[in-house]
Structure 1
Amino acid sequence: MGTIAGVKSEKLHKEAITKLMLNMFSTTYEEGEVSWETTEKVGLGFVNDFIEYQDEKKAIRYNLNDWTLYICMDGKVDNKDELCKLLNVENSYDITDHLLICLLYYKFKNDFPGYLKGQFAISLYDEKNDQVCLVKDPIGLKQLFYYVSDTKVFWFTEIKQLKNSMPLEVNLSYIEKYLGSQPGAYADTAYNNLFRVEAGEIILIKNSKKITKNKYYSFPNNPLMYKDEVDYIERFRELFKIAVKRSIPSKPQQIGFSLSGGLDSSSIYSYANYHKFVSPSNAATFSYTFKNNADADETEYIKEVLRYYPSTKQHFFDCSDEWCFKGGLNTFGEQDEPYPLYGYSLSSIIPRAVRKSNIKVLVSGHCGDHVLMGNLNYLYNLLSTFQLNSYIKHLGIWREQYTLRSLLLKYSRRPKSINVKAPLWLKKNSSFNDVNQEEVCWDDQSRKKYFDGIVYQSGHEWVTQYISKQFGVETRYPFMDIDLMEFLLNIPVHLKQNPKYDKYILKEASKGILPDKIRNRRQKAGHSNLITKGIKKEWGGFQNHLNLEALESLNFVDSEQFQKTIKEFYMGKINNYSDIVPITRTLSAEVWLRERLG
């Protein structure tokens, strides 16, 4: 939840750098203690939110023999014990994450990020070598941007921090690509000369003309082959326990849990209670209900979890009167970058309530579906790698649910590419071509692509920035723990997708921990009706934007075709609910551009 900022300049004096630092911190929503240091060339600082024990002792400047290092970090380090052993220092209250990272840099120089685990965005200035390092964790759980001008380089957690210091120019090439495909957390942003530090990346800055980028992390393709199934289950149980523990602050405080009644959030809350990482008095639950919509309501499952693990602070929010786009389209224009958050109103209910309860940390089951996903394409991988005994065995496992013909002709062949059509209303050019997407077949290449898809396109970067952070809440995601993700993406697929039930390994590992009513359920509620409901409810407010005036002026779209498509949604003529995503991208880009281009 913290905020960091900094600037490096060869031509400004110290007072001017201090003024720029003041400007950058004046625009943040963050509450906490602001600290910064300035030299003749660099200023850097952070907002201390005091979530962890060590936060009370964090400093910015450290003198290590003949080296002076300055450091600011948003986030935390999870493998402190391991690093202290590596550095041969005693793990004590005085060894803060700031000091630990400086010690790592002192010993390993630019290779230091490779030793870190956790969720973090780091800025470090090496005064001796006049070098700034910007680093983001391997999953990209924290935000970090940088802006390059002729004589200065700025870095910051939120784009809005730069608005008082530099004029920003819209990157129309980014907007064009955004219309054609879901945005990913890659380097390019919606502004020229403003870049995102990517997950698992270190940026080295000497000056505005000498900036280098290096990837310090790549997904390890290391298929795991244990002797017995029980060994996988026991290893998962231990890693999941560690991931949940890492999400709990070390400092005693109230902790929020997003409890939907689904398997993922229920498992996190159950593990936290079962292992006594939390107690009924400090674990507050926050749940959506839909009393007037039985297909979406999960109340019975939420209450079953709370029957096993009571909380003295249970919060239920009846969302029967919620819908997508509620409140109109104005929120799209308020975001630093366009993003299709069509469920902003619903998604904001829990973070707003967490904030009102004076809770700083919310634990979420986000990404459980991604890391526990499997499909039968693994049969092709077994066959193509000549694991014939396993292939024959697994054909037999699935024979009760699938015909032998489908197992042989569909799942034992290399998956066909899926042709994804560009939205009809986009004018045809190089950015708006149809694309072929390959299904995951679980060989080394596709596992790596699948991991990258989670990191870059699961949306956590934008949800964190535009929802959680706006309410001063830090959201933590146990299923995105790096050790757990690497394990789950390298185990045999049948341990995730199994004839008995999906998310097999989680359900097996949770026997005796998770209530059986949750563990054995096969379906979960859906909310697709909120899309059509929202379009009908907000249709009047859409009218001022359906001509796509800003996008038409750039020759990006055919507004008549767009109006025809969205009217079909309004009339209930829906072939695929996923079409709402390109529709929302277009609306969000239109509203966002009108705010900036006038």
Structure 2
Amino acid sequence: MCGILAISSPQNCQFDLNPAIQAIHHRGPDDDGVFHSSEGDAHLGQVRLSIIDLSAAGHQPMKDASGRYVMTYNGEVYNFLELKTYLESTYGSIAWKSSSDTEVILEGFAREGYSFLSKLNGIFALAIYDQEAKELHVLRDPIGIKPLYFSAQGEAVFFSSEVKGLLAFKHVKRTVRKQSLVEQLAFMYVPEPYTMYEEFMKVQPGIYHRYAEGKLVDSKPLFTHLQSPMNQSSEEVLTEQLHATLEKAVRRQLIADVPISLFLSGGLDSSSIAFEAVKAKANIQSAYTISFSKEDNSLDGQSSDLHYASLMAKKLGLSLHIIQAESEFLSLLPTLLDFMEDGISDPAAINTFLICQSARKDGVKVMLSGQGADEYLAGYRRYQAEKMILDMSTLTKKTLTTLGSLLPSTISGKFSTTYRRFKKIAKAAGQASQERIASYFMWGGGEQIKSLFVDHEVNKPGQDLVNFLNQHAHLDTFSSMLLADQQFDLLALNLSYTDKMSMAVGLEVRVPFLDFEMVQLMNSVPRELMLKNGQQKYILKKAMEPYLPKEVIYREKAGFALPIRSWFSKRSEIMDHYFDPHRLETQGVFRPQQVQHLLNEQFSGKEDHSYLLFSMLCQQIWLDKQGI
């Protein structure tokens, strides 16, 4: 796992890559290197986190045996040993210089070109320069697990694993994108392909790009087979197939020459990964979880992870490292926001950082995560909510909407969480289909968020999501929701913050549920086997019933979050500073009176704006760092 840089430019250009190398060095503290083409039209850089083949033979940028191709690469290809065997059986003996996956990708590309890249199964972003054809080939994995940013300016195009790498080139123009500020408050992230800057974008996953002297020459979609449904099977056969494929994916992702550990929330997904890893007799002794007080937990309405994580750790013989969440964690934001690029303001990012930081201090370099199952197998509550609304008569929807509008916004006590969810469903029941689905992904009303900004020319947030849903209106509701989950929350949020928070401390996170074989299989699961008998992820629960305790499988769904509602129920020093009316007035981005209105409603208990305010706090700290 690493960080990469690449530039395609006209000939005879000179670029100093060292500032950018230093800017992303946390991603690869073990080694670094640069390459400049003889014609001055290509410039590659890499910082290395050594996971497979820790020797100097794995140094990058790496050249193939012929010397024609040079590659900088970030990621892990889990089927590289299979591909190595394939190359030797097809092309004869190859004089390998290392035992790295990097060399296998490079030698395969040298023999088969971009078509070889479609054989990869892993997490990656790469750039390969052809010294003969004077072309740069760029690809990001089809799920978007590994990030890659680019900016086309002047006659050159710049690529980097992080925005910081692009910012390190001082002559590269950067302008804060106002619409991104709006979207961040609605989603807790900026939807792809956009970033916080007008001039920077994210490379589209799974699309191969070819550049020559700073110009895009060709683009082709790869990995289209992942969307091709496999032959339908009976529920029983599919259940066995899902377990067997997950078992294989976990085994494949255990390959490493360094210590491996686990995220373990005690939920179905992380427990499934933990079980399969231990069953595979991997050298794993520990797992990590996060816990918070009963008082904080009661207000946020999440089921406690600690009991279930402890249960699974004991069952599997693992040492469980527990991190206790405290409201003082908010003081970490100024430091973490240097890494939470793209307007990420999901509290789960803090969790991920704290777990990764603790694991890295313990000598761990690789962790397995349960991410991905929710977005491919309908694991979120919104799927239940949508099914409930679709089953309602028109009269019931109208009655529910009217009732919801008459009731107070919040109540206190042990039923506050259930009440909050009821209010959300009541409001959604009165909305048109696409608008309703979009509302499930957002943390505030569109008009409400727009009204916070001084500039009324900004658009209401969520229009890209509505457009996406309209483009897929020919699909059934659940299918369009699944695609939206994968394109928005998984790609732009969950995978993004996981990469940034783990790589901030030089640690790699792997996601077996997003193994390419798993993805193709999950894309083939009938919708009625995702949500059945009132159970979300029904097919996965059935697949793991023989192996996990039922109380783990059928526990209430809990988010990987911090108790933000509890922490934002009262004023704090950091909020008073960043939401100070005079400061906001001077800044000129937000309307101070609207912000104060939100704060008054929040602290009086009239409305729950906790997640919106948390995003605003993150945004204010980020703007402060921009000198705005």
Paired with 2:329 and 2:219, the residues of 1 have a C-alpha distance of 39
Paired with 1:535 and 1:329, the residues of 2 have a C-alpha distance of 17
Instruction: Say whether 1:250 aligns with 2:256.
Output: yes
- In the other structure, the counterpart of 1:186 is 192
Paired with 1:185 and 1:471, the residues of 2 have a C-alpha distance of 25
Instruction: Say whether 1:574 aligns with 2:607.
Output: yes
Q: Normalized against structure 1, the TM-score is what?
A: 0.81
Identify the match of residue 512 of structure 2 among 478, 481, 486. 478
Letter in 2 for 1:153: V
Letter in 2 for 1:106: A
* Superposition deviation, residue 261 in structure 1: 1.5
* Superposition deviation, residue 268 in structure 1: 0.8
* Superposition deviation, residue 547 in structure 1: 5.2
Paired with 2:93 and 2:534, the residues of 1 have a C-alpha distance of 45
* Superposition deviation, residue 451 in structure 1: 3.4
SS in 2 for 1:325: helix
* Aligned pairs (5 A) from 1:358-369: 358-369=363-374
SS in 1 for 2:568: helix
* Superposition deviation, residue 51 in structure 1: 0.8
- Whether contact under 8 Å (2:349, 2:498) holds in the other structure is no
Paired with 2:349 and 2:484, the residues of 1 have a C-alpha distance of 29
Paired with 1:213 and 1:81, the residues of 2 have a C-alpha distance of 28
* Superposition deviation, residue 286 in structure 1: 1.0
- In the other structure, the counterpart of 2:140 is 136
- In the other structure, the counterpart of 1:298 is 305
- In the other structure, the counterpart of 2:399 is none
Do the aligned partners of residues 527 and 339 (structure 1) sit closer, same or farther apart at CA in structure 2, a change above 3 Å counting? closer
Letter in 2 for 1:464: D
- Whether contact under 8 Å (2:478, 2:527) holds in the other structure is no
> After the TM superposition, which of the residue ranges 229-238 and 546-555 deviates more from structure 2?
546-555
Q: Normalized against structure 2, the TM-score is what?
A: 0.77
Paired with 1:301 and 1:180, the residues of 2 have a C-alpha distance of 32
Identify the match of residue 286 of structure 2 among 284, 287, 304. 284
- Whether contact under 8 Å (1:330, 1:591) holds in the other structure is no
Output one character per residue of 1:284-333: Cα deviation in whole Å (capped at 9) or x when no partner.
1112233545755333322221222102x4312233x3477345666446
SS in 1 for 2:255: coil
Letter in 1 for 2:460: F
Instruction: Say whether 1:317 aligns with 2:323.
Output: yes
- Whether contact under 8 Å (1:550, 1:594) holds in the other structure is no
* Superposition deviation, residue 84 in structure 1: 4.3
Do the aligned partners of residues 338 and 553 (structure 1) sit closer, same or farther apart at CA in structure 2, a change above 3 Å counting? farther
Letter in 1 for 2:556: Q
- In the other structure, the counterpart of 1:432 is 460
SS in 1 for 2:44: strand
SS in 2 for 1:186: coil
- In the other structure, the counterpart of 1:441 is 476
Instruction: Say whether 1:25 aligns with 2:53.
Output: no
- Whether contact under 8 Å (2:124, 2:145) holds in the other structure is yes
Do the aligned partners of residues 90 and 357 (structure 1) sit closer, same or farther apart at CA in structure 2, a change above 3 Å counting? farther
Letter in 2 for 1:10: P
- In the other structure, the counterpart of 2:542 is 508
- Whether contact under 8 Å (1:285, 1:315) holds in the other structure is yes
* Superposition deviation, residue 231 in structure 1: 0.8
* Superposition deviation, residue 89 in structure 1: 4.9
* Superposition deviation, residue 237 in structure 1: 0.8
Identify the match of residue 308 of structure 1 among 308, 315, 333. 315
* Superposition deviation, residue 240 in structure 1: 0.7
- Fraction of identical pairs, as percent: 19
Instruction: Say whether 1:57 aligns with 2:57.
Output: yes
> After the TM superposition, which of the residue ranges 118-127 and 490-499 deviates more from structure 2?
490-499
* Aligned pairs (5 A) from 1:355-434: 355-373=360-378, 375=383, 417-418=435-436, 420=439, 421-427=445-451, 428-429=456-457, 431-432=459-460
- In the other structure, the counterpart of 1:544 is 577
Instruction: Say whether 1:265 aligns with 2:270.
Output: yes
Instruction: Say whether 1:498 aligns with 2:532.
Output: yes
- In the other structure, the counterpart of 2:237 is 231
- Whether contact under 8 Å (1:551, 1:557) holds in the other structure is yes
- Whether contact under 8 Å (1:7, 1:154) holds in the other structure is yes
Instruction: Say whether 1:534 aligns with 2:534.
Output: no
Aligned residue pairs: how many? 553
Letter in 1 for 2:256: S
- In the other structure, the counterpart of 2:555 is 522
SS in 2 for 1:457: helix
SS in 1 for 2:71: strand
- In the other structure, the counterpart of 1:591 is 621
Paired with 2:434 and 2:47, the residues of 1 have a C-alpha distance of 50
Do the aligned partners of residues 56 and 90 (structure 1) sit closer, same or farther apart at CA in structure 2, a change above 3 Å counting? farther
Instruction: Say whether 1:39 aligns with 2:37.
Output: yes
* Superposition deviation, residue 130 in structure 1: 0.6
Output one character per residue of 1:447-481: Cα deviation in whole Å (capped at 9) or x when no partner.
5444323543343213321x211111111122222
* Superposition deviation, residue 170 in structure 1: 2.0
* Superposition deviation, residue 346 in structure 1: 3.8
SS in 1 for 2:525: coil
Output one character per residue of 1:21-56: Cα deviation in whole Å (capped at 9) or x when no partner.
322222221310223333222332322322124875
* Superposition deviation, residue 275 in structure 1: 2.7
Do the aligned partners of residues 48 and 154 (structure 1) sit closer, same or farther apart at CA in structure 2, a change above 3 Å counting? same
* Superposition deviation, residue 264 in structure 1: 1.3
Identify the match of residue 102 of structure 1 among 106, 109, 120. 106
Do the aligned partners of residues 571 and 242 (structure 1) sit closer, same or farther apart at CA in structure 2, a change above 3 Å counting? farther
